[in-house]
Structures are given as C-alpha cells and as structure tokens.
Amino acid sequence: MLEEAGIPHKTIHREDHLFNLASTVPYEVGVPASLYEKAEAAVKEAFGADEQTGEDAMLLPAPDRDAAEFGKGLEAAISDANEWLGQRYPEDATVLVWSGVEPDVREMIEMSLQENDMLSRSEQDAGRTRVFVLPEDEARAKEIVREIVDGEPPE
C-alpha cells in the first residue's frame, strides 16, 4: 500500500522472542519523516478503524519539525551513500560465511556483521541456518565469524 502511494519505506522484522514473547511487536514500518503525513493518510485509508474498537490503526506520533528536518538531511546522506556504494540488496549476499543450528550464534553473527556495516542475509533449511554476505565482504566476515565461533581475538 505504501509502494502504491509512492512512499519509500523500510520494514523491520523483530525476532526478540527470547525475553519478550508477547510484548515485542513483530514488524515495524518506517517512512521518511517528511512523508509521515502522507503515509499516515494512506494507512488510515487502507485500514480505517478497527471494527470492534472503532480506533484507527496504531501509528507512532508524528515527528516534530526538527526531527523532520533531521530526517531530510539523513535521507540526503543515505542517497549520497547509495550513489557512492551502489544500491545494495539482500539477494546480492551470495557468499556463505557460516552454517549451523545454534540460533544464538546466528544472531550474534548477524548483529556483528551489521555493526561492521556488512549486508547479510540468512536462510533456513531443515533446521540449519546459513548466513551469506556480499562477495566484497567475504574476508572480513569470515574473520568475524571465526572470532565468534572459536572465541578467539582477531589476528
């Protein structure tokens, strides 16, 4: 619905079920602050009010004007970075750097790769998870995985 309205957005899938089984919202959708009102109108038009409660779809409060201005600057910086780095997509992560069944190890690897500005994706197959990175990040990613799996400091 946001795509149809021409509103750029990011969907974040939260998987923090270890400590907050019921209290964690599984998905969050973010839009640029400058397009908040347009996104809010699109959501209300698409979902309207809950038939049982009569309440509108749950939205975060509108950003204040300073945050909106900050968001515009951030959007410009991201756009500049994308021009310099090129657009990156999860399906471009094709190099396998880890395979295993331990969800906590997978989570630590994914968080560490993200902290080091590496795009990664994971796939599950028959209870086994595989983590992939972009080809240009292979060496650094494998070093990070080695540090996590072997518990050894960097060489």
Q: Can you count the helices (H) and strands (E) in the chain?
A: 4, 5
Residue-level pLDDT, tens digit, the chain, 155 residues = 888 888 887 777 665 555 555 555 566 777 777 788 888 888 888 877 666 666 666 666 566 555 555 555 555 655 555 555 556 678 889 999 999 999 889 999 999 998 888 989 999 888 899 999 999 999 999 999 999 998 877 66
Query: What are the distances in angstroms from CA 136 to CA 19, 39, 61, 95?
Result: 35, 36, 40, 9
- Residue 104 to residue 60: CA distance in whole angstroms: 30
> Hey, which residues does 11 pair with through a beta bridge?
29
- Would you say 152 and 146 are in contact if contact means Cβ atoms under 8 Å apart? yes
pLDDT of residue 59: 64
What is the third-level CATH fold of 90-150? Alpha-Beta Plaits (3.30.70)
pTM: 0.47
pLDDT of residue 126: 87
pLDDT of residue 6: 84
- Residue 109 to residue 90: CA distance in whole angstroms: 16
Q: Where are the domains of the chain?
A: 10-85, 90-150
pLDDT of residue 154: 66
Question: Could you identify the residue written with the tokens 């590496």?
Answer: 118
pLDDT of residue 101: 92
- Residue 89 to residue 66: CA distance in whole angstroms: 31
